[in-house]
Structure 1
Amino acid sequence: YDTMAWLGIDWDEGGDKGGEYGPYVQSERFELYKKYAHKLIENGEAYYCFCDAERLERIRKIQTENKMAPGYDRNCRHLTPEEVKANLDAGKPYVIRLKVPMEGETKFHDHILGDITWKNEDISPDPVLLKSDGFPTYHLANIVDDHMMKISHVMRAQEWIPSTPLHVQMYRSFGWEHPEFCHLPMVNGADGKKLSKRHGSTSVNEFRARGYLPQAIVNYVALLGCSYEEGKEFYTLEELAKNFKLEHLNKAPAVFDYKKLEFYNGNYIRQLTAEELYKWTLPFITGTGDATLEINPENPQPAPKVGPQYSGVALGDDGEPYCVDKSMNMSSADVKKTLLGLMPLIQERLKFLTEAAEMVHFMFTEPAVPPKEEIVPKRLDEAKTKEVLEEAKTFVKNIFGKTHDEAEEMAKACAEKLGIKLGDFMMPIRMAVTGSRVSPPLIGSIWVLGEERSIARIEKTLATF
């Protein structure tokens, strides 16, 4: 339920909501399954099977050695009523098996694939419905639950098609109408193979841990193998529900494109208010909440860099953020105010919520001066880079009180004055002020950090030249 709640998907009944078709916990429905399994026996549609594990293993071995089709050999299907009674009276353990027709065909209609015909001889031979411990198999519980809960449509992956003829036969055996079937195409990775952990994140919890917003997940996944309004990419959950039709589903498998999902995620991040972005990024900045969810070690994507070791901010017992570096002399209120001030700056650059931790780090610690090879641009030498940093002190003093466009024009003028590219002017300043290539836009970062601290960091860097 936590996953559904996180995605913003509500449900009508079941779970903690209850409803008129309960109970909704399978273990509380065992008597119901037993009742219907025995009803099939009474109607001649199922039978008791007394074969023990040793005999079944012997049959499997013979089938394997002789390259025969696997499955039960229907030995107990032909027991006389007297033999069955004797076994029951003797207390012999049993399972209940379905009598699958041995001849003929089973037909059903699928909303995507059309009419499907299956030879009965190819259906799993007389599968177990009720196990010897009284537990139902999936097939029995599935059919009884769907009928009793008045399920109208069954939508599942196409890999379930081989089970559908069996399910249709079970509905027939009970004398019930089966629901409508819609078998959905698979979702593949970029290599055309079924999506798996080796392609990247596949579970909702891992997407959460990697900094995706639920709106992005819902929007992107809903459009996989499904077409809505041409040219429109972004839908709210309400719009998706309103516009959904079976006719919109495609036959061909969909390809899960992580880059496309990244695009959706970035778009939804940019729609958040500063307060909303603060709420969503705080767990990753402080290493709490969603940041603690398990990451699949087989995932080819690198683990996200989250928590106090990357941000310099932790979460106190009172639920408020605090600066780990006590020498910064920042109260919890200062930290929260600073983070809120940083949100509009980092918002345009965030593709994942997890990236916020590294981007805010420069505000909550005094960064060490980076090695010269990281400060000096490729097109400049040390002497020219020193000139840039000297000019930077004047630049920093002059941009306060200006608009962003005005500050950018001032940066261009400084670069032109020094006879260098704008990027070669900004990069040494970024490294001096933030200590990292991973940071919010430079001008905004300087404004948040303040004139005094920004110039102090530039002077500290100059001292190494």
Structure 2
Amino acid sequence: MEKKETRVRFAPSPTGLLHVGNARTALYNWLVARHTGGKFILRIEDTDVERSREEHETQLIEDLRWLGLSWDEGPEVGGPHGPYRQSERLEIYRSHTEQLLREGKAYRCFCTPEELEAERQKAIAEHRPQVYSGKCRALSPQDSEARAAAGAPFAVRLRIPEKPLRFHDIVRGEVAFPHETVSDPILVRSSGVPVYNYVVTIDDALMQITHVIRGDDHISNTPKQVAIYEAFGWPVPEFAHLSTILGSDRERLSKRHGATSIASFREMGILPEALVNYLALLGWGPEGGTRETFTAEELVHEFRLERVTASPAVFDFDKLHWLNRHYLKLADPARLLHLAWPYFEKSGWLPAQDHAEQQIGAWFAKLVALFLPSVDCLEQLPDKARFLFHLDVEAARTDPENTAILQTESAQRVLAAFAQRLRENAAPLTPEVFKSWMNSIKAETGAKGKDLFHPVRIALTGAHSGPEFDKLIPLMEEGSQCALPTHVASVRERVERFLSQ
């Protein structure tokens, strides 16, 4: 028997930014499709007209492409099962509703909101499940048709058979719901708008989805969807409900924990390969070993839904930063320069990237190489390099740790000796000359180690710790020669200014 092609889908609503939880769902679907040689479908669920926004859909598509999650069918790609926006499929839903009504598998419900609320309150008072009583189930087709023809508002409900609703969950095993807990769910509201559980089932069936992989907040929806599949005589797909992603306090991940949208991580300067690697590990692990770094190609090879855990995953920002540092080290330098430049341009320290002189580009490459090992993400680079463009001498002098160093007689002798050499030598300072000067100052003052280098570092950078001098000195000297929006002071300018205040 020929093996059926695996078809999976990611079906977001364009009502806000793409959250890491939904991005993980998209990633797992994509990995399953790529691992099996199947199809990954993108479907936009935009029937919530009041909240759906075109700009959210645009951002969603941009985020997925940034993550590298290309789709085989969907918006901008097309495919044989379109349209791929629910707002364009309303006629499909209408015709299927008529079919269910004709076959007696659904019925019109004329209960008013007040009647339904009264039922709910009675159930609460009697400590019963708050489910629909089935009051309109007994209406004859003739009565139902007559009331509808007379203009009475009605919803359409599915007639749930009196048997357990079962489905197989790859993550959680066999799951069953008693039919009484499901009641007769509404398929189409009295406004004529079809509900989520109805349209998503029709779409999944007609798009031949074989595996529905989504968050565990949809588990309670699944029995209703299984009943809809069965009402139409459609095969029920396999399900895989992914665990919730929690914050460090083990509460559901939200904005109060920090960045949660893909757009936010992108703006921070997290590389997409780092985020994809990290999202894959939120609830999944490879077979054997404790390996944690994977390229997208390696994830495709390794990924199995059977290895996804049902336990909630905790989002660890430190681990994401660790992975990002790993990928920053591996990234192509030219790509990093292109990605890092806008952060400095936004600060007003670099000109527009397209119009920058070659000299500035070469200098900036040295800057990025120097500071990159000390950042978690690219947005931190300007702060690390801030002293190059603006050194607050007063703040440097009044910092308690710096003050303790600068007030010593040794520090004052070292700075005076260093300034004297700068005044006596007009040539540009090189690392070799700097090293020679510091050796002679050591012999002249008797200062060594921290006592020798910390005062000079404070005068140049405002802090007693930082990058190596042999890389820092050229950066200052060459930067002072570049035509930058904000002047980078040379070593000589920095020391003179520091000593004059």
- Place the TM-score, normalised by the shorter chain, in its bin: 0.7 to 0.9
Determine the structure 2 residue equivalent to 1:243.
302
Shift of 1:268: 1.2
Residue matched to 1:384: 410
Could you say what the CA RMSD is over the residues aligned between the two structures, in angstroms? 3.0
| 1:367-382 paired onto structure 2 within 5 Å | 368-374=393-399, 376=402, 378=404, 381-382=407-408
Deviation sequence 1:83-126 (CA, Å, 0-9, x none): 1021121022222111123x431222211211122211122x21
Aligned partner of 1:376: which letter? Answer: N
CA drift of 1:197 comes to 2.1
Deviates more, 1:269-278 or 1:371-380: 371-380
Q: Which residue of 136, 142, 165 corresponds with 1:82?
A: 142
The one-letter amino acid of 2:365's match is L
Q: For 1:358, what is the secondary structure of its paired residue?
A: helix
Deviation at 1:257, TM superposition (A): 1.1
Are positions 1:433 and 2:460 aligned together?
yes
Matches within 5 A, 1:317-328: 319-320=354-355
Note if contact 1:219-1:234 (Cα within 8 Å) is conserved in structure 2: yes
- Cα distance in 1 for partners of 2:295, 2:269 equals 19
Instruction: Give the equivalent residue in structure 2 for 1:52.
Output: 112
Instruction: Evaluate the alpha carbon distance shift between residue 413 and residue 231 of structure 1 in structure 2; reply closer, same or farther with a 3 A threshold.
Output: farther
Establish whether residue 349 from structure 1 lines up as the match of residue 380 from structure 2: no
SS in 2 for 1:96: strand
Greater shift after overlay, 269-278 or 439-448?
439-448
What corresponds to 1:160 in structure 2? 218
The aligned runs of 1:21-420 (5 Å cut-off) are: 21-101=81-161, 103-123=162-182, 125-228=183-286, 230-287=289-346, 307-308=347-348, 312-313=349-350, 315=352, 319-320=354-355, 333-365=358-390, 368-374=393-399, 376=402, 378=404, 381-393=407-419, 400=430, 402=432
How far did residue 383 of structure 1 move? 2.8
Offset at residue 389 of structure 1 (A) = 2.2
**Which structure is higher in RCO with an 8 Å CA cutoff and minimum separation 6?**
2
**How far apart are the structure 2 equivalents of 1:416 and 1:39?**
97
Return the alpha-carbon distance in structure 1 between the equivalents of residues 72 and 271 of structure 2. 24
Could you say if the C-alpha distance between residues 419 and 348 of structure 1 is closer, same or farther in structure 2, counting changes exceeding 3 Å? farther
Distance 1:421 1:94, change over 3 A: farther
For residues 82 and 290 of structure 2, the distance between their equivalents in structure 1, rounded to whole angstroms, comes to: 43
Residues 54 and 117 of structure 1: is their aligned pair in 2 closer, same or farther, counting only changes over 3 Å?
closer
AA of the residue aligned to 1:336:
G
Question: Residues 93 and 202 of structure 2 are in contact (CA less than 8 Å); yes or no, is this contact kept in structure 1?
Answer: yes
Does the 8 Å CA contact 1:369/1:432 hold for their aligned counterparts? no
- Shift in alpha-carbon separation, 1:425–1:14, aligned structure 2, 3 A: farther
Using the TM superposition, give the Cα deviation of residue 364 of structure 1 relative to its aligned residue in structure 2, in angstroms. 3.7
Q: Distance in 2 between matches of 1:65 and 1:415?
A: 88
1:254 Cα deviation from its structure 2 partner = 1.9
Aligned twin of 2:65: 5
Give the letter for the 1:450 counterpart.
Answer: E
Query: Are the equivalent residues in 1 in contact too, given 2:397–2:403 (CA < 8 A)?
Result: no
What amino acid is aligned across from residue 214 of structure 2 in structure 1? R
SS of the counterpart of 1:107? strand
Contact residue 454 and residue 465 of structure 2 kept, 8 A = no
Q: 1:183 to 1:22 in 2, by over 3 A?
A: same
Aligned twin of 1:292: none
3-state DSSP class of the match of 2:168? Answer: strand
Counterpart of 2:430 in structure 1: which amino acid?
F
Supply the distance in 2 between the matched residues of 1:182 and 1:410 (Cα, whole angstroms): 68
How far the C-alpha of 1:177 sits from its partner, in A, is 0.7
Please identify, of 334-343 and 414-423, the stretch whose mean Cα deviation from structure 2 is larger.
414-423
Aligned partners of 2:350 and 2:167: how far apart in 1? Answer: 59
Kindly indicate whether the alpha-carbon contact (under 8 Å) linking 2:270 and 2:324 is maintained by their aligned counterparts in 1.
yes
Change (3 A) 1:441 1:207: farther
Q: 1:269 to 1:413 in 2, by over 3 A?
A: farther
CA distance in 1, matches of 2:196, 2:448: 67
The letter for the 2-side match of 1:198 is R
Q: Give secondary structure in 1 for the equivalent of 2:384.
A: helix
Instruction: Report the CA distance between 1:459 and its aligned residue.
Output: 2.4
| Deviates further, 270-279 or 358-367 | 358-367
Judge conservation of contact 1:376–1:385 (CA < 8 Å) in 2. no
Which blocks of at least 5 consecutive residues in structure 2 are unaligned?
Answer: 1-60, 481-489
Count how many residue pairs are aligned between Structure 1 and Structure 2: 425
What SS does the aligned partner of 2:197 have? Answer: helix
TM (norm. structure 1) is 0.82
1:47 Cα deviation from its structure 2 partner: 0.7
Q: Structure 1 residues 394, 342: closer, same or farther in 2, change over 3 A?
A: farther
Structure 1 partner of 2:491: 454
SS at match of 2:107: strand
Tell me the distance in 2 between the aligned counterparts of 1:219 and 1:410. Answer: 48
Could you tell me how far 1:358 is from its partner in structure 2? 2.0
Contact residue 98 and residue 127 of structure 1 kept, 8 A: yes
- The letter of the residue matching 2:493 is A
| Equivalent residue, structure 2, for 1:293 | none
- CA drift at 1:277: 1.5
> Hey, which bits of structure 1, 4+ residues long, moved more than 6 A?
394-399, 409-417
User: For the Cα contact (< 8 Å) 1:128–1:137, is it kept in 2?
Assistant: yes
> TM-score normalized by structure 2?
0.76
Bigger drift between 153-162 and 335-344 goes to: 335-344
SS for the counterpart of 2:76 is helix
Percent identity between the two aligned chains: 33
Q: Secondary structure at the match of 1:313?
A: coil
Is the contact made by 2:431 and 2:474 (CA closer than 8 Å) also made in structure 1?
Answer: no
